[in-house]
């Protein structure tokens, strides 16, 4: 199998939904390298198709919703952190099959006038990078689904360094516990079109590849 993970994924993405918009998930835990991988992937894809990047973190639920089960609750982060209906309404529906292409890349918080809707080109690749993107209700939305796989301990170490917080801060167990709940409920490795090991962020490696079906949840999984 080709060792250049970005080339492998870019090839899948460019070929997805020919003549129409393609919805692509870049899924993974915080600290897995989603934002960086999506940016590099966009550079590769842009050479052959229009591309836009949407960040799921721009659809976080308000704090009183995110922390309703407790500030350090793993279940609260897994179930309540994201305003999934807003992501579907403002991005996935308008950019998916039958949509008019008019989308809003950030959540309307109700505190200001909604932003002007943007219009995606008819054959654009839409990269959505974020956490929990292969959960029930979203998994069948993607033409290609990429799952970035990294040990939780390494992801937590990266987040602690990035945020300047102690590695034993209880907030990290909230995040790690939520990822364990997600893995048990959604089995993202099994739902992904391609699984990329980002333990070494400088050399991402394809470790599982699914032959794409009509949507990301179809096809046959192989191992690198």
pTM of the predicted model as reported, rounded to 2 decimal places: 0.91
- In the structure encoding, which two tokens stand for residue 140, read together? 């069948």
Tell which residue, 71, 74, 122, has the closest CA to residue 99: 122
pLDDT confidence band for 177 (50 / 70 / 90): very high
Give dist(CA 183, CA 39) in Å, integer. Answer: 25
CA separation, residue 103 to residues 21, 78, 115 (Å): 13, 25, 10
- In the structure encoding, which two tokens stand for residue 126, read together? 């839409």
Cβ contact 41:10 at 8 Å: yes
Q: Read out DSSP for 145-209?
A: EEEEE--HHHHHHHHHHHHT--TT-HHHHHHHHHHHHHHHHH-HHHH-SEEEE-SSTTS-EEEEE
Count of C-beta atoms within a 10 Å radius of residue 11? 15
Cβ contact 145:24 at 8 Å: yes
Q: Could you tell me if residue 66 is inside a domain?
A: yes
Q: Could you tell me if residue 177 is inside a domain?
A: yes
pLDDT (tens digit per residue) in 40-83: 999 999 999 999 999 999 999 999 999 999 999 999 999 999 99
Cβ contact 35:130 at 8 Å: no
SS3 73: coil
pLDDT confidence band for 25 (50 / 70 / 90): very high
Q: Could you tell me if residue 195 is inside a domain?
A: no
pLDDT mean over 169-197: 96
SS3 142: coil
9-23, 87-101, 104-118, 200-214: lowest mean pLDDT where?
A: 104-118
Q: Could you tell me if residue 131 is inside a domain?
A: yes
pLDDT (tens digit per residue) in 158-175: 999 998 888 888 899 999
Q: Could you tell me if residue 100 is inside a domain?
A: yes
Domain count, the chain: 1
Give the CATH number for residue 179.
3.40.50.300
- In the structure encoding, which two tokens stand for residue 130, read together? 């974020």
- Give residue for tokens 């054959």: 123
Q: Which helix (H) or strand (E) holds 14?
A: helix 5-15
Q: Could you tell me if residue 218 is inside a domain?
A: no
- Give residue for tokens 């020919």: 18
pLDDT mean over 99-128: 85
Q: Helix (H) and strand (E) counts for the chain?
A: 9, 9
| Domain assignment of residue 50, given as a range | 21-109+120-141+151-190
Q: Could you tell me if residue 223 is inside a domain?
A: no
Q: Could you tell me if residue 196 is inside a domain?
A: no
Count of C-beta atoms within a 10 Å radius of residue 132? 23
């Amino acid at each position: 199998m080709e060792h250049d993970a970005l080339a492998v994924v870019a090839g899948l993405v460019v070929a997805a939904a020919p003549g129409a918009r393609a919805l692509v998930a870049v899924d993974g835990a915080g600290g897995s390298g989603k934002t960086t991988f999506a940016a590099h992937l966009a550079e590769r894809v842009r050479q052959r198709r229009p591309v836009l990047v949407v960040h799921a973190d721009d659809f976080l639920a308000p704090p009183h919703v995110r922390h309703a089960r407790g500030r350090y609750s793993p279940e609260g982060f897994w179930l309540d952190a994201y305003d999934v209906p807003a992501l579907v309404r403002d991005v996935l529906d308008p950019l998916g099959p039958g949509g008019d292409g008019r989308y809003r890349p950030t959540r309307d918080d109700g505190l200001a006038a909604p932003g002007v809707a943007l219009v995606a080109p008819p054959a654009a690749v839409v990269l959505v990078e974020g956490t929990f993107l292969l959960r029930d209700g979203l998994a069948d939305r993607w033409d290609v689904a990429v799952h970035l796989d990294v040990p939780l301990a390494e992801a937590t170490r990266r987040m602690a360094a990035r945020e300047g917080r102690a590695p034993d801060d209880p907030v990290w167990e909230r995040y790690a516990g939520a990822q364990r709940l997600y893995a048990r409920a959604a089995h993202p490795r099994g739902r992904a079109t391609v699984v990329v090991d980002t333990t070494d962020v400088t050399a991402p490696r394809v470790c599982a590849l699914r032959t794409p079906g009509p949507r990301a949840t179809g096809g046959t999984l192989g191992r690198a």
